[in-house]
Structure 1
Amino acid sequence: MNFLELFSGALAQLRFLIPLIVMLIIAYIFKSRWFKGMFGEYLVNKLLSQLPNPDYTLVKNVTLPTEDGTTQIDHIVVSKFGVFIVETKNMRGWIFGSKSQRQWTQKIYRHTSKFQNPLHQNYKHIKTLESLLGIDSSKLHSVIVFIGDNTFKTDMPDNVTYARGCLNYIQRFSQPVFSETEYNQIIEAINEIKLKRGVVTDLKHRRHVKELVAAKEKGR
């Protein structure tokens, strides 16, 4: 067998392997936490875009500076009725939790895992906006949206909802708390203080998150 025959055989095998490798990569991406997070934010973004204009303005994927680094907010809905800070969770399985618990539980068949109470996670977002914008906390509202094949197995607060429930919750607030001028000023202020989107901002935020996780692990 000469070199040409060997090369042709190897090339034929490679042509068979490439589609398989591509399929494995795609499957890995689809199952990754990153993809689930991005896809979940996209779905909620489409949902929140249904809120009527000009009463509501959606600002998405906002990274804000904090005293110890950065914090990232999935969606901010600004209205004359308040500012709604929306945290998205794309998860499946049974979800257990309460307002006061530090960690909630996800159960998929026999597998059980813990994750940070999203209400506590969103509390930092609210305090950051309160500080940067000078808005009273009573006008800032936390909203947690779960999407995916999941079921709440404990009673949840009204502001923890499945996808479409978030629209109903937001639109419950019908009493204006901001004037037209204040409404426009808040939108302008958020766009001014948010960090510019890009690779550097994302890397800084991810590094900050890793540092927080490492600090928690060290403190255990």
Structure 2
Amino acid sequence: MLVIGLLFYIIISLSFVAFIVFIAYLIQPKGVVGERRVSKLLESLGEEAMIFNDLYIPKKDGEMTQVDHVLLSAYGLFVIETKNYKGWIFGGETQRNWTQTIYKKRSRFYNPVMQNNTHLKALQHHLNMDVPVHSIIVFSDAATFKFKEPFQTAHVIQTKHLKRTIEQYKTQEISAEQLIRISKLLNALIPKTKQQKNEIKKQHLEHVKEIVNSKKKKVNAVKTEPITIDRVVMEPASSTSVDTCPKCGSNLVLRNGKHGSFYGCNGFPKCRYTRNHDFNLNRSHL
């Protein structure tokens, strides 16, 4: 009975552990799932291919850019951006934003080809070597591409086509000496401790937030532009403002009308006071 009880306890414990692992897999970010799937595919390419995952590469401006995967082989340097998206994917090589459509829901996201081009430039700057670099954008197998034109600067593929895409490069482009040098430079980017990795990631995320917030401020900023009303151009308040409106106390601004320049109340159209440009005539439109 003791042995049976012990076996029962072990089975229950293992089942509980398996359940916890399963739940942890389900709740992890979709991007992480896609990146791990791609990592396993890259590992299946053989020992000749050196794989570097989740690298933070310094850019010319001193900031960092995060790269999902870099594969180094004698056939080239492959920079891989993973997008674990499903549904219909619309976009173009030079289109700033792409669209993901799932039934009636539409979501916009930044062009991954442009995003990966930033990674390529940072990597080339860091290596300072003339070696062939290939850009690959990997979507989920559940994604359906709705692209109108083929891509010239990147491979945009589903996960199932990743291995075949890389294996089509069969001409040796990088020498053994270059492979050693590049490998050392990439290994230098790998954090030595978990704490160091978390700190680099934190700094990168803070920088990304600053960029997003600055863009929001620009969008929300009120643009002061001339407004045309009944063929009269109302210029923004500036150094041309003179005196104040005797009717409502608002500033007077210089305007251009069909009969020439004149000063008008900044409270227009509620206040229609105007003053002749040469100050010889005062008149108001009630």
What is aligned with 1:70?
64
Q: Which amino acid aligns with 2:179?
A: Y
5 Å-filtered alignment, 1:100-119, equals: 100-119=94-113
What is aligned with 1:131?
125
What is aligned with 1:52?
46
How much is the aligned-residue C-alpha RMSD, in angstroms? 2.1
Give ranges in structure 2 of 5+ residues lacking alignment. 1-19, 220-286
- Could you tell me how far 1:167 is from its partner in structure 2? 1.4
Q: Which amino acid aligns with 2:186?
A: I
Q: What CA distance in whole angstroms lies between the structure 2 residues aligned with 1:40 and 1:71?
A: 19
- Could you tell me how far 1:135 is from its partner in structure 2? 2.4
5 Å-filtered alignment, 1:166-185, equals: 166-185=162-181
CA shift in 2, pair 1:195/1:64, >3 Å: farther
What is aligned with 1:42?
36
The answer to whether the 8 A contact 1:90-1:146 is kept is yes
The answer to whether the 8 A contact 1:65-1:194 is kept is no
Q: Say which one has the larger Rg.
A: 2
SS of the residue aligned with 2:92?
A: coil
From 139, 147, 163, the equivalent of 2:159 is: 163
Deviation string, structure 1 residues 63-116 (Cα, Å, up to 9, x no partner): 122224211100000011110000000112110111111111001111111100
Whether 1:214 aligns to 2:213 is yes
Q: Which ranges of 4 or more aligned residues in structure 1 deviate by more than 6 Å? A: none
- Could you tell me how far 1:30 is from its partner in structure 2? 4.3
The answer to whether the 8 A contact 1:61-1:72 is kept is yes
The answer to whether the 8 A contact 2:79-2:120 is kept is yes
The percentage of counterpart residues that share the same residue type is 36
TM-score, length of structure 2 as denominator length: 0.62
Q: What CA distance in whole angstroms lies between the structure 2 residues aligned with 1:211 and 1:205?
A: 10
What is aligned with 1:8?
none
Q: What CA distance in whole angstroms lies between the structure 1 residues aligned with 2:108 and 2:34?
A: 19
Give ranges in structure 1 of 5+ residues lacking alignment. 1-22
Q: Which amino acid aligns with 2:163?
A: L
What is aligned with 1:190?
186
The answer to whether the 8 A contact 2:55-2:189 is kept is no
The answer to whether the 8 A contact 2:67-2:79 is kept is yes
Deviation string, structure 1 residues 105-146 (Cα, Å, up to 9, x no partner): 00111111110000000011000011110123x611110000
The answer to whether the 8 A contact 2:141-2:160 is kept is no
TM-score, length of structure 1 as denominator length: 0.80
More helix by share: 1
The answer to whether the 8 A contact 1:82-1:141 is kept is yes
Q: Which amino acid aligns with 2:128?
A: G
The answer to whether the 8 A contact 2:64-2:204 is kept is yes
Whether 1:92 aligns to 2:91 is no
Q: Which amino acid aligns with 1:185?
A: R
The answer to whether the 8 A contact 1:145-1:161 is kept is yes
What is aligned with 2:199?
200
Aligned length in residues:
191
Q: What CA distance in whole angstroms lies between the structure 1 residues aligned with 2:143 and 2:160?
A: 14
Q: What CA distance in whole angstroms lies between the structure 2 residues aligned with 1:30 and 1:208?
A: 29
Whether 1:61 aligns to 2:54 is yes
The answer to whether the 8 A contact 2:56-2:189 is kept is no
